[in-house]
Amino acid sequence: AMITEKSAALYARAVEVMPGGNSRTAVYSSPYPVYVRSGSGARVTDVDGVERIDFLNNSTTLIHGHAHPEMVEAIAAAVGHGTSFGMPTPVEVEYAEALSARNETFEHVRFTSSGTEAVMMAVQAARAYTERPKIAKIAGAYHGAYDAVAVNNDGSGNLISHAVTGNPEGVVANTVVIPFNDPEGSLEVLRRHADDLACVLIDPVPWRIGLLPASKEWLDALREFCDASGAVLISDEVGSYRVGYHGAMQLLGAEADITVMGKVIAAGMPIGAVAGRRRFMSVFDPSKGKPALPHSGSYNANPVSMSSGIASLRLLTPQAHERIGQLGEQARGSMRTALGEAGLDWEVNGLGSLFRVVANSAPAGYDSAAAAMKALYWKLLENGIHIGDSGLGCISTPMGEEEIAEYAVAFAKSLGQVLAEGRA
């Protein structure tokens, strides 16, 4: 069994001052989570001194792993000059140049402090640009905590609009849901609301509904609809931008009007970015009087996040993307082999450096597929590996063949233990 005394003690303190001892639902686990003391490269050490390989990397954010020397240097230097100002700084311009150079649709960019905020501003930009109220999103897909997108975000793929508890009816009524990778089904919904739609918001590789890439046929149908109706096509790549040097949409042969990014584009510091064609981004422009969409934030484009971003993009060369993409393919292959040998019908999906184990069925002795996945999460922790308890994982640049080999062994072993305990 795992040594977790110090985590247990910390959690006992946490519940006294935070609801359920928690500030982030995603990092809670029952009876209590494992607390981390530090990370270095591909590995993390918990408060009890146990070291593990980290395949979650803060929900796929840390593409360069933990405490990468160049990232640490860039961030420390920035902090030494002041963390934030009520004035712009040179690094904002430098970072905007580096980001916009990645994709020709990123003509203008604008920064926030989180992916949630960036989605919020992209949706508001589409509404300001079109002066229309409704948005369309994929059934089951997650786009952060903003009211308008906190609808049908539970991974269920259910087409009947349902929202986070307490989300007002008026908000929910303005969000319509479309089926992922179904061109005909999507167009049927979109055409019904065409005159009222400000945008179609998608994630080209949506993790919560299994991390399957969008099909070219579906993306083409959406692009055509948006061009004809005047709706703005928004690609939320907060999680999926990392699949290729130019982002997910370009890799899949498509083009968005506005792209939302976060996570890997600063690899550890709070960041969100809205990037798009000049005409859509013009709603933010204050240089000609009051903009259609005023947008501020005390930490927008702060020099610490900007410096972190410059360093992260510098390290994310086309070669780096390709290398971790190949390691991702190896990892997915080893998991598929282990699942096949165990006789399980579970799937392994993903693209590039992203993977997700999708539990399709509950093995003997488990109430649900989710419960079996949770058991696998704990077994992997016991065997020196950290992935998400939903089966989500990714490759970071400090990883090499050695980490992938260690993972393959631990995955097969953990899976065997989960199945054996279920049968026992």
CATH of the domain at 302: 3.40.640.10
Per-residue model confidence as pLDDT tens digits over 174-220:
999 999 999 999 999 999 999 999 999 999 999 999 999 999 999 99
In this structure, the answer to whether residues 370 and 307 fall within a common structural domain is no
Residue where a domain terminates, one of 270, 288, 315: 315
User: How many Å separate Cα 63 from the centre of its chain?
Assistant: 12
- Predicted confidence at residue 163, as pLDDT, reads 82
Query: Do the beta carbons of residue 142 and residue 125 sit within 8 Å?
Result: no
In this structure, the answer to whether residues 129 and 44 fall within a common structural domain is no
Distance CA(306)–CA(311), nearest Å, equals: 9
- Predicted confidence at residue 158, as pLDDT, reads 81
In this structure, the answer to whether residues 109 and 15 fall within a common structural domain is no
Buried b (16+ CB within 10 A) or exposed e, 6-31: bbeebbeebeeeeeebeeeeebeeee
Distance CA(46)–CA(32), nearest Å, equals: 13
Percent of the chain with pLDDT over 70: 100
Provide φ and ψ at 357, rounded to 5°: -85, 120
- Predicted confidence at residue 329, as pLDDT, reads 98
Q: Is 115 annotated as a binding residue?
A: yes
In this structure, the answer to whether residues 165 and 106 fall within a common structural domain is yes
- Predicted confidence at residue 235, as pLDDT, reads 99
In this structure, the answer to whether residues 49 and 166 fall within a common structural domain is no
Residues in Cβ contact with 197 at an 8 Å cutoff, skipping those fewer than 6 apart: 130, 132, 134, 135, 136, 176, 190, 229, 231
In this structure, the answer to whether residues 11 and 32 fall within a common structural domain is yes
Residues in Cβ contact with 411 at an 8 Å cutoff, skipping those fewer than 6 apart: 334, 335, 338, 380, 385
3-state helix, strand, coil in the chain (%, to 5): 45, 15, 40
In this structure, the answer to whether residues 168 and 143 fall within a common structural domain is yes
Q: Is 116 annotated as a binding residue?
A: yes
Closest-CA residue to 109 (of 266, 275, 307, 293): 275
In this structure, the answer to whether residues 198 and 323 fall within a common structural domain is no
Residue where a domain terminates, one of 315, 348, 371: 315
Number of domains forming the structure of the chain:
2
CATH code of the domain containing 358: 3.90.1150.10
In this structure, the answer to whether residues 410 and 294 fall within a common structural domain is no
Structure tokens at 305: 């996040």
Find the length of the chain. Answer: 424
In this structure, the answer to whether residues 173 and 190 fall within a common structural domain is yes
State whether residue 294 is helix, strand or coil. Answer: coil
In this structure, the answer to whether residues 112 and 165 fall within a common structural domain is yes
Query: Which residue range is the domain that position 216 belongs to?
Result: 69-315
The owner of tokens 């900007």 is 306
Residue where a domain terminates, one of 257, 288, 315: 315
Query: Do the beta carbons of residue 47 and residue 6 sit within 8 Å?
Result: yes
- Predicted confidence at residue 373, as pLDDT, reads 97
- Predicted confidence at residue 102, as pLDDT, reads 98
- Predicted confidence at residue 206, as pLDDT, reads 97
In this structure, the answer to whether residues 259 and 406 fall within a common structural domain is no
- Predicted confidence at residue 159, as pLDDT, reads 82
What tens-digit pLDDT sequence spans the chain (424 residues)? Answer: 799 999 999 999 999 999 999 999 999 999 999 999 999 999 999 999 999 999 999 999 999 999 999 999 999 999 999 999 999 999 999 999 999 999 999 999 999 999 999 999 999 999 999 999 999 999 999 999 999 999 999 988 888 777 888 889 999 999 999 999 999 999 999 999 999 999 999 999 999 999 999 999 999 999 999 999 999 999 999 999 999 999 999 999 999 999 999 999 999 999 999 999 999 999 999 999 999 999 999 999 999 999 999 999 999 999 999 999 999 999 999 999 999 999 999 999 999 999 999 999 999 999 999 999 999 999 999 999 999 999 999 999 999 999 999 999 999 999 999 999 999 9
